[in-house]
Amino acid sequence: MIALAASSCSKKNYSNKAVYQFTSNTGIPDYANLSYWAAHPAKWDPSDSVPAPLRKKMPSKQLADVFFIHPTTFTSKEDSASNASIDDAELNSKTDYSSILFQASVFNEESRVFAPRYRQAHYRNYFISDRQKATTAFGLAYDDVKRAFEYYMKKYNNGRPIIIASHSQGTNHAERLLKEYFDGKPLQQKLVAAYIIGMPIAENSFNNIQPCKDSLSTGCFVAWRTYKKGFEGSASVQAEKFKAVVTNPLTWTTNETPAPASLNEGAVLLKFNKVIEGVSDAQVHKNILWSSKPKFFGNIFLKTNNYHIADINIFYNNIRQNVKARIAAHMQQ
């Protein structure tokens, strides 16, 4: 799994206390302080990284903003807390050098990237029987995300086009954010697109924001969950009673026509500076996205049927180029 994505579930040691020496007096993130942004255009952070094969002169004018909500990185079995401490140095490092590096960096070519730290709910909250406790934990996490977004809008947006992007737990919060601030609201006119990935998004989730129909649609959203081709998903996936939106990131359509691996413009795996073209194909299948076993050196050790942590990584350059195309389409409109 580490070879596949180096993402939120990695067991790598992310201790780096020297870089993360900040303390909130209240335990609540202060978004006026850049330390509480995992990614921010006013400082260097891993979202500014570009894989070596994709490096070129960056645009002199970044036309849009990306508000990225990172996935769950709070997975420690030893920690019984429902929510992460905002000042946990090792956890912040883990977030920055997994999700922010391998996922948020996708969006940096023509956009400023903003990614707030937030008191994320522990991974176990998805499975505990005490649903009220879980709801409270996710509610606390969303409150931080919401305050970060409001601060961003007040201090930084200045009328710029916006992309909402997220993965996993971040997508749960992004869905709420879109409903509260964009869906049928004036701000929807500023929405380039929402890339809300890794969680099921029902067709009727929004009243006005529609699934993107093609690669150039704007004001819309894309979503998918990636599994090995032939696998129908976990029991909970198979038990879903709703129709989820599934976008094929190789064609940017929602039909079930298979897209060959030749359309995969490049995955970014454990070695960030290596881009592997043609690593996987993709096909919409019911409520999930199917991908054949990714082709890369060492894939013999890849035994899982669930490619969740690589939802973004294995389609890295396709997403990168699509963001650029949608920004151009939005600006033309």
- Residue 196, SS3 per DSSP: strand
Count Cβ atoms within 10 A of the Cβ of residue 29 and give its class: 0-12 exposed, 13-18 middle, 19 or more buried. Answer: buried
Residue 165, strand partner residues = 68, 195
Six-digit token pair at 85? 């401490």
| pLDDT for 297 | 87
Please say whether the beta carbons of 67 and 152 come within 8 A.
Answer: yes
Are β-strands 191-197 and 220-222 bridged in parallel, bridged antiparallel, or unpaired?
parallel
Please say whether the beta carbons of 43 and 96 come within 8 A.
Answer: no
| pLDDT for 190 | 98
- Name the pTM for this structure: 0.95
| pLDDT for 1 | 35
| pLDDT for 17 | 45
Whose structure tokens read 């899982």?
304
Q: What are the backbone dihedrals phi and psi of residue 221, each rounded to the nearest 5 degrees, phi first? A: -135, 155
| pLDDT for 284 | 98
Question: What is the Cα–Cα distance from 145 to 19, expressed in whole angstroms?
Answer: 23
Element (H, E) at 39: strand 37-39
Low-confidence stretches of the chain (pLDDT beneath 50): 1-11, 14, 17-18
Neighbours of 132 (CB within 10 A): 8
| pLDDT for 294 | 94
**Residue 239 gets which letter from DSSP?**
T
Q: What are the backbone dihedrals phi and psi of residue 197, each rounded to the nearest 5 degrees, phi first? A: -115, 150
